Structure 1
């Protein structure tokens, strides 16, 4: 087998010029307890773009679209522009959503795993955020032909879906399921989901519907049909005054990936003892909180990043049992990664954009 592979190096924080497609990247070799995965497909995510431009740095306070579309960010040389808050080492191979096949194993790993079709967990949890590693950030990911990952975080999957379809699941669906799990969403509850046409939002719609929830989706009006098909019960156009449209104290749970200026309204529409879960801030991370709303209504605010232990195995079972469906907007060759990210930033699609190495 060749000792080199094709892939995309991220050479530093910044614009699209920091993505370098190459055919001479050393192919990784699995260490003890690791597996080598031949990548069949890898999806495009907000997190890949946010990491590239350094949006996770506290130096950035704007929305993800304006910063991600810029050739420069306020954190090009920052030492805190990663998920864990530490400096990244470059070059880095990004790509958090990986579907593929195990083609080699390190010592200590069962050789019978070779040939297994697998999905890679996007998050490798640690005791602290600094010890938690994210695929494509703190360790190399899927924008290449091969990747090495600890065996325990690579799960077999039995499905007749294509690699592109399977690659649409790991990051978005685990993020969504993690929020739903931590918020303890149950059948019959009213759940409002922001950004409902995006990867995480559309996943949350499906997964909340799977739990038997009444799903209220918020997204751009042009995406209404797709979002309703995914399982929404009600739909509101992005920018709608939710207090006027719904009233106050009307929903049990808010699942949010948007944040931004309209954030206070999300707490107003929650019932007493309502739960708010967040795993993104595409409209901006800086929000205004009236502490009286929080404590007088006995609300619970939940941040959700590192996955609960049950989340990724549960996702595998949902896929195998066909309880959720993939939403693929378009496929690209890996060499077209810049175009794929540009299309992603335009937000004209519903579901996932997928790269094929």
Structure 2
């Protein structure tokens, strides 16, 4: 089969197209999916570059870093085995099943849950892996995964549109769940033009919250389509003044970087900050006095509850959320797709078509 294979940590050159890569076979408890489309996410970029290692303190660049720790270059703080086919957000059709899996699943249209859990201990975060990291993923014509991770979906959306949901929307829903967002909240979303940011806008609105999006002004028309109550520039010099009378109770952030203290300073007393990324940089200036004197709560969000992706499928099938598809690229142009993703050339999600 054709597959884009990541050969090691480093720059875009580490992704190599193979036209005769062995097609995987489903093991017991697994299914084989013919990939119709596969979404691209920060996890793919950061895993390839080794950005997750604590030896790296720069913003996400997608380039090779001068030094990447050998012991902690992945989301879970562990080494990764190369060569590796990345890509967690598959939409496709089940074409074969392994032992113990009902053959009635063959022919089902599915999207994938990227979190690979121990079947005997599914809620144990220490026993999780991620698709395209701890096992091969979807930047190929075929891929295998655990049968429980292939979720049937009934929708009139295209394959490319369905491939935008798995990582971005489950990440966003996990963040909002950790922060216990309700219809009593006003949620500030930095980076609202990105995949997770756009999902945060929609899913917070679904919960009844008031949503204030932040994005580059050139992207405001696209962000407006997602339904936020207000849109602010990406980084106002005086955020408090830009907010006016707004009382922000939750900041849902995947950006981080030098602007981070401004986000914390505008949170109301008793407010919550939830985070699942740091694309502008992981190192921030943190005043503990703001944290404890204002009774703030901080939550990190990575490994999500198994129910989250099942909820996302329900929201898709009942038209409660919509895709934010920015662009599609053929598999052989995955390097160009990642370059565009890193440069934030598009608003929304980028999808690769094998």
TM-score normalised to structure 2 length:
0.95
Number of matched residues? 349
CA deviation profile, 1:174-202 (whole Å, cap 9, x unmatched): 00111011111111420000110000001
Asked if 1:155 is matched to 2:151, the reply is: yes
Q: Which residue of 2 aligns with 1:262?
A: 259
Cα contact 1:166–1:326 (8 A) shared by 2: yes
Q: CA deviation at 1:149?
A: 0.6
What is the RMSD of the two structures over their aligned residues, measured on CA atoms? 1.5
Please state whether the residue corresponding to 1:318 is helix, strand or coil: helix
Q: CA deviation at 1:254?
A: 0.6
Select 1:10's aligned residue among 6, 21, 24.
Answer: 6
Q: CA deviation at 1:103?
A: 0.7
Asked if 1:283 is matched to 2:280, the reply is: yes
Q: Which residue of 2 aligns with 1:326?
A: 323
CA deviation profile, 1:202-247 (whole Å, cap 9, x unmatched): 1111111111111100111111111111011111111213123226
How far apart are the structure 2 equivalents of 1:212 and 1:131? Answer: 34
Cα contact 2:56–2:68 (8 A) shared by 1: no
Asked if 1:114 is matched to 2:106, the reply is: yes
Q: Which runs of 5+ in 2 are unaligned?
A: none
How far apart are the structure 1 equivalents of 2:243 and 2:321? Answer: 28
How far apart are the structure 2 equivalents of 1:259 and 1:154? Answer: 32
Q: Which residue of 1 aligns with 2:141?
A: 145
Matches within 5 A, 1:55-204: 55-65=51-61, 68=62, 70=63, 72-76=64-68, 78-125=70-117, 130-204=126-200
Q: Which residue of 2 aligns with 1:229?
A: 225
CA deviation profile, 1:244-270 (whole Å, cap 9, x unmatched): 322698211110000111211222211
How far apart are the structure 1 equivalents of 2:126 and 2:18? Answer: 30
Cα contact 2:51–2:68 (8 A) shared by 1: no
Q: CA deviation at 1:95?
A: 0.5
How far apart are the structure 2 equivalents of 1:299 and 1:356? Answer: 43
Cα contact 1:260–1:284 (8 A) shared by 2: yes
Q: CA deviation at 1:83?
A: 1.1
How far apart are the structure 1 equivalents of 2:5 and 2:69? Answer: 17
How far apart are the structure 1 equivalents of 2:252 and 2:35? Answer: 31
How far apart are the structure 2 equivalents of 1:248 and 1:132? Answer: 43
Cα gap change, 1:177/1:216 in structure 2, threshold over 3 Å: closer, same or farther? Answer: same
Cα contact 1:9–1:20 (8 A) shared by 2: yes
TM-score normalised to structure 1 length:
0.94
Q: Which residue of 1 aligns with 2:32?
A: 36
Q: Which residue of 2 aligns with 1:209?
A: 205
Q: Which runs of 5+ in 1 are unaligned?
A: none
Matches within 5 A, 1:327-342: 327-342=324-339
Cα gap change, 1:248/1:130 in structure 2, threshold over 3 Å: closer, same or farther? Answer: farther
How far apart are the structure 1 equivalents of 2:321 and 2:2? Answer: 32
Q: Which residue of 2 aligns with 1:273?
A: 270
Q: CA deviation at 1:45?
A: 1.1
How far apart are the structure 2 equivalents of 1:125 and 1:285? Answer: 27
Cα contact 2:53–2:69 (8 A) shared by 1: no
Select 2:216's aligned residue among 217, 220, 238.
Answer: 220
